[in-house]
């Protein structure tokens, strides 16, 4: 699915008034006026940051660097000290960009509601918590008529994906703007190389390979007097109910690039994965290999591994009928070659010039769409990219060949009742007597 395209600059006020004579344009005019009236009298867009970790802080800096006046209005995080630290840092370094008194700094599992409620209609919500919370937070932001930037990944299971899709449909009805953090879609060189591929420079794309191979994912032991819930959220990359697996949360960009280049989504997947060398007491498989099938019979393979002292590669390789390409996240110098030997003498295309920071471009697009009232909603594409990773995780962890439609209909949630949890709740997974957490077992684990 191609990313939604902007529909040109917004009309002038005179042009808008002229359209009032046209009944069919009446609703669009009302929406345009409403969308613009959400900003303050000085056209300032208020921002609430939900999730104040490293990626949340980066996304906030990019949002505040967009054209036009913006202001941090509220912060929220499971850990209240993070909400305070982020607000203090912006107030110190960019005082004209911050208006976050102590009563708009929220901690706990319900902090997102308080921050969004304080923001009001037409504000911008940045969702940067662990992906397990994304469907709940997106639903609430849309219900409160807020625009959204949501960081990847976007859900961790099929029920969550269905909730994200439904929230996206509601956002379209409300004329809300949503950008998803699949930054490779906003990277200039990726856009250029994929246009070349889709225009047929190397013929039909017949095989696609998504890789992320590097050292081990870190794990931090439980602190004294720390609850198990806080311990797991602090180590969210290591628990499946929070991050959806290494295959999803760490490979999603290159899975998305492959599907973008192919121009379709897979229809089934089978694969395998396990813990081979990892000894940390968490849920992570330390390697995955998943084969996806497309409707035309072609294949995509995803390889993810985080093991010390092993071969590393991070990128996408695509084979076409007459050539090959290297692109995606992790690749600085994207190239297209004749044939499948990527020797320098076989190169037939390379991008020219530099490219802007794709993380910044995401926010530039979102804030421009809000200010100019351009249609923009990435939700469906983001949900399908995330489900590609989820489908692979389900196939590998169960050891089964799974069809997309049947897997998407699964009612197995990794954290049932998550929206009703409190700070005192037990997490969805608990350690055994030796302090180790349950790990999926192919052939035993049920996913449908």
Encode burial over 181-210: b for 16+ CB neighbours within 10 A, e otherwise: bbbbbbbebbbbbbebbeeebbeebebbbb
Q: Which helix (H) or strand (E) holds 254?
A: helix 252-262
Q: Using 50 as the pLDDT threshold, list the residues of the chain that sit under it.
A: 1-38
- Whole-number Å distance between alpha carbons of 127 and 123: 13
**pLDDT for the residue 47:** 98
**pLDDT for the residue 4:** 37
At 64 the three-state DSSP class reads helix
Q: What is the pLDDT of residues 244-291, one digit of tens each?
A: 999 999 999 999 999 999 999 999 999 999 999 999 999 999 999 999
**pLDDT for the residue 19:** 36
Q: What domains lie within the chain, and their CATH numbers?
A: 13-184+360-379 (3.40.50.720), 187-356+387-420 (3.30.360.10)
Phi-psi region of 319 (alpha: psi -120 to 50; beta: other; left: phi over 0): beta
Encode burial over 357-368: b for 16+ CB neighbours within 10 A, e otherwise: ebbbbbbbbbbb
DSSP E strands in 85-135: the ranges are: 105-107, 124-127
Q: Report the C-alpha dihedral over residues 328, 330, 333, 339, rounded to 10 degrees.
A: -60
- Whole-number Å distance between alpha carbons of 156 and 391: 10
Pairing of strands 299-306, 287-293: antiparallel
- Whole-number Å distance between alpha carbons of 306 and 285: 9
Q: What is the pLDDT of residues 131-181, one digit of tens each?
A: 999 999 999 999 999 999 999 999 999 999 999 999 999 999 999 999 999
- Whole-number Å distance between alpha carbons of 248 and 384: 12
């Amino acid at each position: 699915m191609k990313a939604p395209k902007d529909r040109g600059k917004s009309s002038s006020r005179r042009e808008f008034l002229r359209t009032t004579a046209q009944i069919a344009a009446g609703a669009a005019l009302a929406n345009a006026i409403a969308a613009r009236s959400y900003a303050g009298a000085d056209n300032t867009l208020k921002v609430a940051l939900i999730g104040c970790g490293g990626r949340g802080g980066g996304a906030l800096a990019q949002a505040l660097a967009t054209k036009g006046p913006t202001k941090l209005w509220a912060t929220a995080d499971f850990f209240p000290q993070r909400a305070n630290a982020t607000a203090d840092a912006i107030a110190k370094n960019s005082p004209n960009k911050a208006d976050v008194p102590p009563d708009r700094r929220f901690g706990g599992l319900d902090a997102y509601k308080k921050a969004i409620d304080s923001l009001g209609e037409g504000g911008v919500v940045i969702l940067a918590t662990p992906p397990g919370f994304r469907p709940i937070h997106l639903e609430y932001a849309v219900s409160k008529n807020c625009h959204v930037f949501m960081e990847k990944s976007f859900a961790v299971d099929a029920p969550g994906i269905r909730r994200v899709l439904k929230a996206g449909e509601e956002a379209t009805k409300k004329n809300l703007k949503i950008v998803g953090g699949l930054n490779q879609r906003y990277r200039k060189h990726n856009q250029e190389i994929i246009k070349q591929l889709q225009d047929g420079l190397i013929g039909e794309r017949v095989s696609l390979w998504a890789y992320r191979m590097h050292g081990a994912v870190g794990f931090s032991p439980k602190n004294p007097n720390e609850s198990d819930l806080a311990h797991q959220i602090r180590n969210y990359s290591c628990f499946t109910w929070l991050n959806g697996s290494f295959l999803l949360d760490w490979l999603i960009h290159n899975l998305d690039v492959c599907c973008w280049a192919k121009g379709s989504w897979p229809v089934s997947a089978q694969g395998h994965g396990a813990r081979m060398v990892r000894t940390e007491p968490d849920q992570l498989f330390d390697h995955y290999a998943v084969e996806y099938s497309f409707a035309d019979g072609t294949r995509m393979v995803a390889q993810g591994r985080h093991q010390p002292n092993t071969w590393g590669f991070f990128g996408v390789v695509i084979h076409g009928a007459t050539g090959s390409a290297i692109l995606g996240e992790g690749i600085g110098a994207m190239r297209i070659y004749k044939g499948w030997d990527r020797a320098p003498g076989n190169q037939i295309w390379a991008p020219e010039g530099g490219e802007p920071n794709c993380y910044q471009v995401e926010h530039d697009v979102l804030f421009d769409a809000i200010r100019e009232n351009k249609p923009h909603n990435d939700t469906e594409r983001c949900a399908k990219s995330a489900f590609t990773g989820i489908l692979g995780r389900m196939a590998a962890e169960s050891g089964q060949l799974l069809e997309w439609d049947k897997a998407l209909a699964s009612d197995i949630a990794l954290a049932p009742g998550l929206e009703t949890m409190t700070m005192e709740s037990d997490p969805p997974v608990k350690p055994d007597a030796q302090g180790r957490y349950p790990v999926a077992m192919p052939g035993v684990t049920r996913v449908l």
